[in-house]
Amino acid sequence: MNNSIWVIVDRLTKVAHLLAVRDSDKVETLAELYINQIVKLHGVPADIVSDRDPRFTAAFWKALLGAMGTELNLNTTFHPETDGQTERTIRTLEDMIRMCILD
């Protein structure tokens, strides 16, 4: 059962993709989901800004991005506001979920 939402925001178009995932999903599963849902629609990105979740700093993920020619930029530890656009999207999503629960 999915218990998390993976938020992926295109910084150019500001389009947000919300992918249902599990905390226990392995990096290979996330990589496949990313390719099937994001790369399929938008092509290979020039760069990615990511939090420091161990799954996204794993050697496999780095190798996958390297093979696609994508640069991985990790945000500064304890400063998730580095990627403000994604943070705003998450806040909006939280507000929407809260409103649905209260109804």
The pTM of this model reads 0.68
Domain range list for the chain: 4-102
- pLDDT in tens for each of the 103 residues of the chain? 999 999 888 888 888 899 999 999 988 888 889 889 999 998 988 888 777 788 777 776 777 787 788 887 776 655 555 557 778 888 898 898 888 888 6
| Percent of the chain as helix, strand, coil, to the nearest 5 | 50, 20, 30
DSSP 68-95: HTPEEEEPPTT-GGGGHHHHHHHHHHHH
CATH superfamily entry for domain 4-102: Ribonuclease H-like superfamily/Ribonuclease H (3.30.420.10)
pLDDT of residue 45: 85
Count of C-beta atoms within a 10 Å radius of residue 31: 19
What is the structure's pLDDT at 37?
A: 93
